[in-house]
Amino acid sequence: MSAREMILGAVLMALIVYICSPLSGENYTQTVLVDPAGVLQVYPWIYYNSDQLERGHFPLWNHLTGLGQPHLANIQTALFYPLYWAWYAVGGESAYGWLMVFRLWLAAMLWFIFARKRTASFAGALVTGAAYGAGGYALWFSQLIDLNSQLLLSALMLAWTSLARMPFGNFCSRFQRS
């Protein structure tokens, strides 16, 4: 796949995700369009992370949950998840909306790349990426913790394919000390 195809695919995928995404200017953390459990489930954790980091505290414990619970030990808080770093740096409601759109775009682009590497045509790869990134599953579960790993599923599948094709001796030699 050429760099030109990657750039064109990225532009087209961004356009598709933009058209299908909630960029109408609404504040989607205040306006309930659907059952917000899928879209806004992790918003309180991200907000708490950001608030505590702004105050100069490392959020080890969340005293706002029940009678308190370990915050950092809860995988759903995703304190160290790289895509949330923009939220921590910029903050605000617009950062949360753009984060969701970026995640959808990234999911779409990774599936586009996967389809092109698996010999799909350009149009077929574009449909594959658009179907995943702007499809119902990704839109509904855009902020669930599950999507953090599913976002990278196509990249992992490509890596597994190349590992499976590698002769076992070459694979083992990568881990031997010299």
User: What pTM, to 2 d.p., does this model score?
Assistant: 0.65
Count: domains in the chain: 1
Query: Cα 74 from chain centroid?
Result: 19
pLDDT tens profile 11-59: 877 776 666 555 545 554 555 455 555 556 777 888 888 888 889 998 9
Query: Cα 55 from chain centroid?
Result: 27
Which are the contacts of 128, defined by CB distance < 8 A and separation ≥ 6? 111, 112, 114, 115, 120
Q: Is residue 103 part of a domain?
A: yes
User: What is the H or E stretch that residue 117 is in?
Assistant: helix 92-117
Q: Is residue 90 part of a domain?
A: yes
Structure tokens at 127: 């449909």
Structure tokens at 139: 């839109």
Alpha carbon distance 114, 109 (integer Å):
9
Q: Is residue 172 part of a domain?
A: no
Alpha carbon distance 144, 60 (integer Å):
21
Which are the contacts of 9, defined by CB distance < 8 A and separation ≥ 6? 109, 112, 113, 116, 122, 125, 126, 129
How large is the average pLDDT for residues 81-101?
Answer: 74
Q: Is residue 95 part of a domain?
A: yes
Q: Is residue 175 part of a domain?
A: no
For position 20, what pLDDT does the model report? 58
Question: In this structure, are residues 115 and 125 in contact, taking their beta carbons and an 8 Å threshold?
Answer: yes
Q: Is residue 23 part of a domain?
A: no
Give the domain range for residue 74: 35-164
